[in-house]
């Protein structure tokens, strides 16, 4: 790997492919065959760079074909989890002393490896979490973006910020790493978020215990392997899958854990925050929790909106990756004068959505992640049928996997269960608003505050949304999903988390602490240095 850090080009996002090019399609088809042939492999726990055998294993299944095993990973014991923290604490002492340039180089090298194996990673995402071709490619592209972006950010943070000069002193502020972090990523962006949180932590000089989701552990094992391929030293990232209750709580509570980076549900995030706040024997710091906990995201359709654009934006935001995005639109709030027209057009648009095996290029919606999720979503739909008017979907789509039809429920009261609770599936509630004031009020009536969109051709309405729509990521006349690293720093308010703006210019600060060093100098030595320069 030969990237010269002194000449790193400005950051640019990876382009997400549509696979309209026959060569791109052929490449992914070959990767699907290649990765499918290798399915069922075992990936052990990795502590200090060494494989660790475990009595129990976690099995990762293909949600489109639940009888197909994608792979197995070791399920760590409590003792192994504790060993991983202790190992990471020891390795921190040497890793933190590497320069930012050296740490950044590892991320750039890893990005290049992923770029060269892009379709293999895509194929794994299609098989392990049921992403369509385009959704899988977007996930892999975002993982590359995080590696590239945070590498450059580490170099920027390494440059001392300007301070107010003080006569007779040399003053410097520097950002130093925190210590050992526990990274707990979600399954929905199984590659991007997992790689993003892990890479941000280590490039800032921390060491990590990575506990992946039990629904997507193989993609995490692949990523850890990439890090070791490019030379990241043993013990900097330790791969420790396991039950949240068995080892997750222990990792969070360990006195040598300095921070926890988490993405997942509100309930789990609040539990982690509470557990991390309790002082443990031997603990000498206040643990930091960096959390993104989901949302109940709304798109407002004003009476003056371009309805064709609004219908498309709502449909794509609600049903892309089966609605399993924390940024997914789960509520369309439509002003009364255009409500009926919008609902009719939305019904026609949803009919065009292709539900099927994500390994097929024509599929738009694949399966939800597992049987428990499917059952929960179907229960919410039954509740929604009582709270509103079913206009599309409402049933299990296929019997050979965890498929749910794209479901639209109209005439939903703003305080209904399906309008308030995060369903995390292909279910959209459509709510009628009296006017724009009412629409903004409804949009802010949940405990969440992650993403939102407004469709309107009235600039004054868009300005009001900027001021009054309380979300971390607000989009005007565009969909509520698809945040790009560097362009749309991502994170929300209230029960959506700690507003940790992933892919933004202050994100690495969350993995560091600021230290000020002041040195008294006499005028003679200062003048001598000035003369030498």
Catalytic annotation, residues: 292, 326
Q: What is the C-alpha separation between 527 and 193, in angstroms, rounded?
A: 50
| Upper half-sphere CA count for residue 24 (Cβ side, 13 Å) | 13
Residue 227: CB atoms within 10 Å: 24
Residues 6+ apart with CB under 8 A from 64: 127, 130, 357, 358, 359, 366, 367, 400, 401, 402, 403
Collapsed DSSP state (helix, strand, coil) of residue 363: coil
DSSP state of 396: B
The first and second tokens of residue 219, run together, are: 């993609």
Q: If we measure between CA atoms, which residue out of 288, 303, 332 comes closest to residue 427? A: 332
DSSP state of 355: B
Judged on CB neighbours under 10 Å (0-12, 13-18, 19+), 514 is exposed
DSSP string, 257-298: EEEEEEES-HHHHHHHHHHHTSPPTT--SPPEEEEE----EE
Strand partners, 513: 176
Which helix (H) or strand (E) segment holds residue 384: the answer is: helix 371-387
Orientation angle between helical segments 336-351 and 307-319, nearest 10 degrees: 50
Strand partners, 52: 45
Q: Is 417 left (phi over 0), alpha (psi -120 to 50) or beta?
A: alpha
Orientation angle between helical segments 133-158 and 100-116, nearest 10 degrees: 160
Cα dist from 409 to 55, 110, 278, 332, 385, whole Å: 46, 44, 43, 10, 7
Give the dihedral sign, CA 435/440/443/447.
Answer: negative
CB 454 within 8 A of CB 477: yes
Query: Which residue is it, tokens 């229960």?
Result: 379
CB 406 within 8 A of CB 392: yes
State the Rg of the chain over Cα. Answer: 24
Q: What is the C-alpha separation between 93 and 207, in angstroms, rounded?
A: 9
């Amino acid at each position: 790997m030969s990237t010269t850090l002194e000449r790193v080009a400005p950051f640019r996002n990876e382009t997400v492919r549509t696979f309209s090019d026959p060569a791109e399609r052929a490449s992914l088809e070959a990767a699907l065959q290649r990765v499918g042939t290798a399915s069922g492999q075992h990936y052990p726990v990795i502590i200090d760079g060494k494989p660790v055998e475990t009595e129990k294993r976690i099995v990762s299944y293909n949600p489109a074909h639940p009888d197909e095993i994608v792979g197995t990973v070791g399920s760590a014991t409590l003792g192994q989890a504790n060993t991983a923290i202790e190992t990471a604490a020891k390795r921190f002492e040497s890793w933190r002393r590497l320069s930012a340039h050296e740490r950044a180089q590892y991320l750039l090298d890893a990005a290049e490896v992923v770029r060269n194996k892009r379709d293999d990673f895509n194929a794994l995402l299609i098989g392990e979490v049921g992403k369509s071709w385009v959704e899988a490619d977007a996930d892999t592209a975002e993982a590359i973006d995080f590696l590239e972006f945070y590498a450059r950010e580490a170099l920027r943070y390494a440059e001392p910020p300007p301070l107010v000069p003080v006569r007779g002193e040399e003053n410097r502020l520097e950002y130093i790493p925190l210590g050992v972090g526990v990274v707990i990523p979600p399954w929905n962006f199984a590659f991007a978020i997992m790689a993003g949180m892990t890479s941000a932590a280590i490039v800032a000089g921390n060491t990590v215990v990575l506990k992946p989701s039990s629904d997507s552990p193989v993609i995490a094992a692949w990523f850890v392997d990439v890090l070791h391929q490019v030379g990241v030293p043993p013990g900097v990232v330790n791969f420790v899958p396991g039950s949240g209750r068995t080892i997750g709580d222990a990792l969070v509570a360990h006195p040598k854990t300095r921070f926890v980076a988490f993405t997942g549900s509100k309930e789990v995030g609040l539990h982690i925050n509470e557990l991390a706040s309790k002082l443990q024997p031997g603990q000498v710091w206040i643990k930091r929790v960096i959390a993104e906990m989901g949302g109940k995201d709304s798109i407002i359709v004003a009476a003056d909106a371009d309805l064709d654009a609004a219908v498309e934006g709502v449909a794509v935001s609600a049903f892309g990756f089966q609605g399993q995005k924390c940024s997914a639109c789960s509520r369309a709030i439509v002003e009364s004068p255009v409500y009926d027209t919008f609902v009719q057009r939305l019904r026609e648009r949803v009919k065009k959505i292709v539900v099927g095996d994500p390994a097929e290029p024509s599929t738009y919606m694949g399966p939800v992640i597992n049987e428990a999720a499917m059952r929960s979503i179907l229960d919410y739909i039954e509740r929604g049928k009582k709270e509103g008017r079913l206009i599309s979907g409402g049933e299990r789509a296929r019997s050979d996997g965890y498929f749910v039809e794209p479901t639209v429920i109209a005439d939903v009261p703003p305080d209904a269960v399906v309008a308030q609770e995060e369903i995390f599936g292909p279910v959209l509630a459509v709510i009628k608003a009296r006017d724009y004031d009412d629409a903004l009020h409804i949009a802010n009536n949940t405990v969440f505050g992650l993403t939102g969109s407004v469709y309107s051709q009235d600039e004054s309405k868009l300005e009001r949304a900027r001021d009054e729509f309380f979300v971390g990521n607000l989009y005007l006349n565009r969909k509520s999903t698809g945040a790009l690293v560097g362009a749309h720093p991502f994170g929300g308010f209230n029960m959506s988390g700690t507003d940790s703006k992933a892919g933004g210019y202050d994100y690495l600060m969350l993995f560091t602490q600021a230290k000020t060093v002041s040195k008294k100098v006499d005028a003679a030595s200062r003048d001598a240095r000035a003369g030498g320069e």
